[in-house]
Amino acid sequence: MPFSWLDIILAAIMLVSGFLAMFRGLTREVLSILSWAVAALATLFFFPKYQAQARVYIEPALLADAVLAGGIFLVVLIIVSLITVRISDGVLDSRIGALDRTLGFVFGLARGLVLVVIAYLFFTWLVPEDTQPEWIKNARSLPILKQTGAGIVSLLPEDPASAIPGLQKQEEPATTPPPPLAPVDPDKRSSIDGSGMADGVRVANIPQPGHTAAGQ
C-alpha cells in the first residue's frame, strides 16, 4: 500500500516539530508549557478579583472582561517566560545540553503526533468516516491516529464544563409549589347563610341562592 497524503502530512508535521524542539531543547519546551499553564491559572485567579473595577473604567462589560483577562495572561506569560528562558539556556550550555536536545527531538515528534491526532478527531467529528476521502481511509498511519485518539479521549472528563472552575451551571433555587386547595364539603357549602359566614369563617362575595343584592 503506497503512502497517502495523510501519511506525508503526519511525517512532515512530526519532523518539523521534532527539529524545532531539538533546537530549543526539552527543558525549554517543558517550561514553555508550564509558562502557559501558570498564565492561565493566574488569569483564573485574578480575573474575578478585578472584574468589577475593570468594568468601571472600560465599557462595554464584554470589552472590559476581554482586556482584563488578556492583560493578566500576557503579563504573567511574559514574566514567567523570561525566567524559563534563562533556566533553559543554562541547561543547553551545560554538559547535558546534547541530551537535552536529543530528548527535545523525541518530545517534538510526540507533540507533532498529538497535534495531528487532535486535528483528526475534530475532522472525524465533522465528517463521518463513510464520507471521508480515500487518502484518509487508506492511510497507513490511520490505525495509529485512531488508537492515540482513543487514548486522548479516555483521559477527558465526561462533563468537561464541570472540571473547569466558573463554568458550572448555577442551579436555580427550587421553588416549593403552593399546597393544593382543599375541596369544599357540600354540607359546609350549604351551611353558608346570608351573612357570608360558614362554620365561623366569613366567606365574602359569594352570592347565595334566594338572596338578592340590596336595593334590587
pLDDT at position 58: 86
- In angstroms, the CA 164 to CA 59 distance is 27
Report pTM: 0.63
How confident is the model at residue 127, as a pLDDT? 86
pLDDT of residue 132: 87
Q: What is the pLDDT of residue 48?
A: 92
Residue 93, pLDDT score: 84
- How big, in percent rounded to 5, are the helix, strand and coil portions of the chain? 65, 0, 30
pLDDT per residue of the chain (216 residues) written in tens, 0 to 9: 578 899 999 999 999 999 999 999 999 999 999 999 999 999 999 999 999 999 988 888 899 999 999 999 999 999 999 999 999 888 888 888 899 999 999 999 999 999 999 999 999 988 888 888 889 888 999 999 999 999 888 887 776 556 555 545 444 444 555 666 655 555 555 554 555 454 544 544 555 555 544 444
- Nearest Cα to Cα of residue 85 among 34, 39, 16, 38: 34
Per the listing, cell 524545532 goes with 20
Q: Are 152 and 117 in contact (CB under 8 A)?
A: yes
Contact at 8 Å (CB) between 125 and 159?
no
- Using alpha carbons only, how large is the chain's radius of gyration in Å? 35
